[in-house]
Each structure stands twice: as C-alpha cells, then as structure tokens.
Amino acid sequence: MLPKLTTSEVRRTRQCPVECDIVKQRVASLSDFFGLIDDLTSEDRYWYRGHPDLSWELVPSALRYGSEELRRTALKLLHEFRRIAEQKIPRPPPRTEELEWVQVAQHYGLPTRLLDWTESATVGLYFACLGHPKADAVLFVLDPVRLNALGPAKMARVLTAQEDGELIDEYLALEARSSGKRGKHVLAISPVWNSERLILQRGAFTLHGSRFELDRAQAPSLVGIPILKEHKPVLLRQLARIGVDRLTLFPEIEHACTHLKERLAE
C-alpha cells in the first residue's frame, strides 16, 4: 500500500488546472510507480502523457495562444512549412496526406492541433521527470478507446488515417475558434509511423477540435498521477537503469551529445 500524500502535498497538486481525478498517493520510486499503474490500468490500451510542470493544461501547442488571431496564424504556418520542407527533408509525405504532414511539422516543433501521448508508462514518466526541477510534475493516464466511444465517432477503437481519414482531415481543417464545452470532441488517433523517434517513444496523439482542453467532461477515464519535484532525480536514475533515457528515446545525434554531457555533469 503506497503512502498517501500529506495535506500540504495535496495542496501542491491543486495547481493542476486539468479537471480530472488526481491520485492522492506518493510515487517516490519505480516500484511505487509500477504498483500504482497496475492498480489504475486493467488493460494494455492506456496512454500516458508526462508534464514536468503540473500547472500546464492538456491543450495542443497551436491552441494555447490566448487570441483567436494568434491561433489562426499558428495553424496557417503549416502551409509555409510544407513549402519549405518539400525541399529540405529527404522523403516528404505525399501532398494529399494531411495527417502525415501535420505529424512531420509536430516532430520539428511547429504548433499543431496534435497532443503527444505514449503507449509506454515508463516513457510518460520519463517526460514527467525531465526538466523543471523546481516544479511538481504530473503523469496523465487516458483510456483512448473510451474517449472515442464517447465522442462524435462513437467507435470503441483508436482512429486511423486509413479507416478514418475523412474525419481526421475535417478536424485538421477546423478554424482556430474555441467553442468552449459544446464543440468538437477530442479524438484519439494512431500515428502514421513516419519517424524513428515516434516508434522509439511508442507515440500516439489526441487530435483536438473546437473543444481545446482535454478534461473529465470528454474523458471520464482521465487520471493524473502527481510526481513531487523532490522525487524526480531518483525516478530519472531508476529509469536510466532500465534503459529509459535520452539516448534510447531520441535517435538524433544531437541528443546523444546532450546525453553524454549530462553524464559528465553527474
């Protein structure tokens, strides 16, 4: 039985703006974490997303801007990106494959309507602990099948570009206007495997419509596991021992160099 958070620690978790159930147990080691995951997830279909700062919202990068004008500008950057990337990357996606292009843009840091998740609990925990050492973190746990079953598709499965391309393209073409609680429901979609990093991180996406923020209203299964800042260093060391670190999750050579420099500073 994991120890419960103290009253003062529970108050710290209230900085999380996402409306969902927050676990009241302390995760101080990987053994704590695995025990808690076993209790929370009865199947292997769950997704995970780690926030190193629990004050962040579950909103994709292009939809975080405060004004509709800035959100519209951010979403329009994709057109300019495609024009440049067709000449810069070795194997650009076909021009008609909208989701593939959005994924490539996401990979290179462009704001999009996609929010990154992972099928791996340990990868999600790694990102929750990475950086922001002075902030408490949170790991979100989501049942993507239940999310889609309650959404507009009414399908108890994760959507794919092959089977659900028309609906996905409809979402990608949406305007930057928010409709609060009454707009298009968030979708869970499987990625097109178009990068080594996506495969290594076992990536997945939620695609956000005109209801920007993911919360319990759209995803009753959504749960947050708080990771207190004082436990981040121990968890990162233990994750490294089982092969979950920058070197294994980021194939690019610049991340290998960062990994080596981090080892030098230990």
DSSP secondary structure string for all residues of 195-245: -HHHHHTTEEEEE--SS-S--TTT-TT-EEEEE-GGGHHHHHHHHHHTT-S
In a domain, 83, yes or no: no
> 238-250 burial, b for 16+ CB within 10 Å, e for fewer?
bbbeeebbbbbbb
Q: Which two tokens stand for residue 99?
A: 């989701």
The token pair at 265 is: 């500073």
pLDDT of the residue at 256:
62
pLDDT of residue 17: 97
Total domains present in the chain: 1
Element (H, E) at 117: strand 114-118
In a domain, 75, yes or no: no
Is 73 among the domain residues? no
**181 lies in a domain?**
yes
* Helices of type H across the chain: 7-13, 30-40, 68-88, 98-107, 121-129, 144-150, 161-172, 196-200, 232-241, 246-249, 253-265
How confident is the prediction for the chain on average, in pLDDT?
93
pLDDT digits (tens, 9 = 90+) for 12-64: 999 999 999 999 999 999 999 999 999 999 878 999 999 999 999 999 999 99
Please write the tens of the pLDDT for every residue from 83-140: 999 988 888 898 889 999 999 999 999 999 999 999 999 999 999 999 899 999 999 9
Task: Classify residue 58: in a domain, yes or no.
Answer: yes
Burial of 80 (0-12, 13-18, 19+ CB in 10 A): exposed
126 in a structural domain: yes
Does 207 fall in a domain?
yes
**Can you give the pLDDT at residue 105?**
95
247 vs 49: CA distance, rounded Å: 19
pLDDT attached to residue 125: 98
Amino acid letter, residue 236: L
- Residues 191, 196, 201: CA angle, nearest 5 degrees: 65
Say if residue 259's pLDDT is above 70: no
Domain that holds residue 211: 7-67+112-265
pTM: 0.93
Does some domain include residue 1?
Answer: no
